[in-house]
Amino acid sequence: MQSGRTQDRTVSQISVDPGSRGTVAVYLVEAANDEEGRALRSLFEELKPHINVTQLSHGQLVSYAVQTRDPCVLDELENVLKSTYAFVVMQRSFDSVIYRVVKELCADTGSKLLAIPHCNICGRPDPFPDTVITLADEAGEIVTSRSYCATCTASLAARTNKDFVLSLLAADRRDFGRLEHSKLVRSRARSHYLRYKVRN
């Protein structure tokens, strides 16, 4: 565990949501003007009901990461983009290399790099986290939300779901103090995969 302790409000609830699964691709597109930029945003917004979409940048460089269970969709999207725009780059994965390319192109073109989730254990950027843990107070108000990549969650496999949650919090870069050793009691979760009440 690294430094950075925070516990301004008492955490009374912990919710756990697994990320979606599927093939990930990154698309980098040069928008010649504002109209092309708006058209690109509209295209990817229309895809959101069908695939997972995270925008990485906007401006002259418009870039997105997408995730789908049907890899054919990625090829179809690439074909549509290349038939419409002069500069299109597609990579069939998301990693630190392609993210660095996006950042460098944003700097070169004056485009805006948008914030995306980073794993709160290893620090790796991840537009589609494997697991998200949300900590809330007694009233249900969110205290903080933590994201974890597939590599880190796999390395912390535990015997039970409760142990898994506590192991993630223990490995997190933030110091959660006594919370890591609290007793978790399963509660009903209509909008989450798992939810626990915290008993100190």
Mean pLDDT of 32-54: 95
- Encode pLDDT of 52-110 as tens digits: 999 999 999 999 999 999 999 999 999 999 999 999 999 999 999 999 999 999 999 99
The total of other beta-carbon atoms located within 10 Å of residue 136's CB is 19
The confidence band for 1, taking pLDDT boundaries of 50, 70 and 90, is: very low
C-alpha pair distances (Å), 165 with each of 64, 130, 132: 30, 13, 10
Residue 193 lies in a domain: yes
3-state secondary structure of 84: coil
Q: What is the spatial order of strands in the sheet that 194-199 belongs to?
A: 142-148, 131-136, 13-18, 194-199, 183-186
Q: What is the pTM of this model?
A: 0.85
Domain containing residue 79: 23-113
Q: Does one domain contain both 151 and 103?
A: no
Q: Does one domain contain both 136 and 195?
A: yes
Supply the mean pLDDT for the chain.
Answer: 91
Q: Does one domain contain both 79 and 32?
A: yes
Q: Does one domain contain both 107 and 56?
A: yes
Q: What is the DSSP letter of 35?
A: H
Residue 4 lies in a domain: no
Q: Does one domain contain both 109 and 133?
A: no
Percent of the chain with pLDDT over 70: 93
Of the listed ranges 24-28, 88-92, 139-143, the least confidently predicted one is 139-143
Q: Which residues 6+ apart lie within 8 Å of 23 measured at CB?
A: 67, 68, 69, 71, 74, 92
Do 150 and 38 touch, CB atoms closer than 8 A?
A: no
Residue 3 lies in a domain: no
Percent of the chain with pLDDT over 90: 73
The CATH number assigned to the domain holding 30 equals: 3.30.70
Number of domains in the chain: 2
Q: Does one domain contain both 64 and 88?
A: yes
Q: Does one domain contain both 133 and 163?
A: yes
Residue 123 lies in a domain: no
Q: Does one domain contain both 94 and 154?
A: no
